């Protein structure tokens, strides 16, 4: 119930811990439910098909114990015994099949469908005598002993009660012909088995919740284990911070790769920088392909200068574009006029540098009041 450092297991097991326990084959199991279901399935099968099965057994006894003079020869005895064994096995096979099916289905009522290859691997730690003595005197072992005592006492009480109530009938079987006494006695035995089945189901109804509670109690965690699991599942803050920095750096690198193709870079002039591009055939409106402040803004300006992308100082427009337009999004309608003035100036500037003439005048950008 406590860790080596003294911290108690007070926290309920997480979904991850329950999943790992299931993968190891550690699931709640109720032996009482399995035994009750197996007995009930066998008794139900006998009660439904007991007549034909009993007649088949009687016929088997008759044929197996009937010998001809040739069957008594040593070379014929072994084949005769083999045939008799196969015949009785076929007769009782449905009972074994019902028990196997019940043994498979019963655990599903408690823990669902579960198969673990890890549970099939040998565990040599169980060969440790010291661990064996600890398990022998553990609370779980004492609980199993208590259940066994209760089970024996309840089954004995039910058996005694049924026998006592049917004793006159059982004694009366001695006066009945064998042909009538055998099925009569079989019906009494089936009734007793049904009573025992209901008694064992009553024990199972108590044992199943106990096993589920015991299973979750064994998987309880300390607060430190919960914190460690959350850290492993979500990642430590340091790792997440490094991932965010790496993603941010990658995003910035991709963004800077788009600056050489921009038509203009609008700056603040030092704190903000926004690169825009416009293609008349493929775009409805200019698009922001890069933006940043301070260090990123300086990097955008450096790339623009290196690739001779026009840099236009328009502080209000640069701030508005940076705050209102996401990357690779079109400029909103309310900024169309201001951006159009910048692009017009850029196109005139390119024409002036190529053909000469009168230099263009830097426009005074008018922004909407909001």
Q: For each of the domains in the chain, give its residue range(s) and CATH number, in order of start.
A: 27-121+129-218 (no CATH), 240-355 (3.40.1690.10)
Q: Whole-angstrom Cα distance, residue 309 to residue 266?
A: 10
Q: What is the pLDDT of residue 196?
A: 85
Q: Where are the alpha helices (DSSP H) in the chain?
A: 15-23, 31-64, 74-105, 108-111, 129-136, 139-172, 178-218, 223-234, 237-257, 295-306, 315-324, 336-355
β 329-330/311-313 pair status: unpaired
pLDDT, tens only, 218-238: 888 888 888 777 776 666 666
Q: Answer whether 275's CB lies under 8 Å from 288's CB.
A: yes
Q: What is the mean pLDDT of residues 14-23?
A: 80
- On average, the pLDDT of the chain sits at 78
Cα Dmax for the chain: 136
At 70, is the secondary structure helix, strand, or coil? Answer: coil
At 271, is the secondary structure helix, strand, or coil? Answer: coil
pLDDT, tens only, 156-177: 888 888 888 888 887 787 777 7
Q: Kindly indicate the confidence band of residue 244, based on its pLDDT and cuts at 50, 70 and 90.
A: confident
β-bridge mates for residue 121, sequence order:
none
Q: Kindly indicate the confidence band of residue 3, based on its pLDDT and cuts at 50, 70 and 90.
A: very low
pLDDT, tens only, 120-137: 555 555 555 555 555 555
Q: Kindly indicate the confidence band of residue 274, based on its pLDDT and cuts at 50, 70 and 90.
A: very high
Question: Can you give the C-alpha Rg of the chain in angstroms?
Answer: 43
């Amino acid at each position: 119930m406590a860790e080596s450092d003294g911290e108690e297991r007070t926290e309920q097991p997480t979904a991850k811990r329950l999943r790992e326990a299931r993968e190891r084959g550690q699931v709640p199991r109720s032996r009482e439910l399995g035994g009750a279901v197996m007995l009930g399935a066998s008794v139900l099968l006998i009660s439904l098909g007991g007549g034909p099965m009993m007649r088949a057994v009687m016929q088997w006894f008759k044929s197996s114990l009937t010998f001809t003079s040739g069957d008594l020869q040593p070379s014929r005895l072994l084949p005769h015994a083999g045939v008799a064994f196969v015949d009785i096995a076929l007769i009782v096979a449905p009972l074994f099949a019902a028990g196997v099916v019940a043994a498979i289905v019963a655990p599903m009522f408690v823990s669902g469908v579960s198969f673990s290859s890890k549970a099939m691997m040998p565990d040599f730690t169980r060969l440790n005598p010291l661990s064996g003595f600890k398990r022998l005197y553990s609370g779980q072992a004492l609980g199993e002993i208590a259940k066994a005592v209760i089970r024996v006492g309840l089954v004995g009480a039910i058996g005694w009660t049924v026998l006592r109530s049917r004793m006159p009938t059982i004694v009366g079987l001695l006066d009945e012909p064998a042909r009538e006494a055998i099925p009569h006695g079989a019906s009494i035995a089936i009734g007793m088995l049904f009573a025992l089945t209901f008694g064992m189901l009553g024990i199972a109804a108590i044992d199943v919740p106990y096993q589920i509670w015991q299973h979750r109690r064994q998987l309880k965690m300390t607060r430190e284990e919960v914190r460690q699991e959350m850290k492993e599942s979500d990642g430590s803050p340091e790792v997440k911070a490094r991932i965010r920095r790496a993603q941010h750096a990658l995003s910035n690198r991709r963004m800077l790769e788009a600056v050489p193709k921009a038509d203009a870079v609008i700056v603040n002039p030092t704190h903000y920088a926004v690169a825009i591009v416009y293609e008349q055939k493929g775009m409805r409106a200019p698009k922001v392909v890069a933006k940043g402040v301070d260090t990123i803004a300086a990097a955008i300006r450096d790339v623009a200068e290196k690739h001779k992308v026009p840099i236009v100082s328009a502080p209000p427009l640069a701030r508005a574009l940076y705050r209102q337009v996401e990357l690779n999004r079109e400029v909103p309608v309310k900024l169309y006029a201001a951006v159009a003035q910048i692009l017009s100036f850029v196109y005139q500037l390119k024409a002036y540098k190529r053909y000469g003439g009168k230099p263009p005048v830097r426009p005074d950008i008018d922004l909407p009041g909001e």
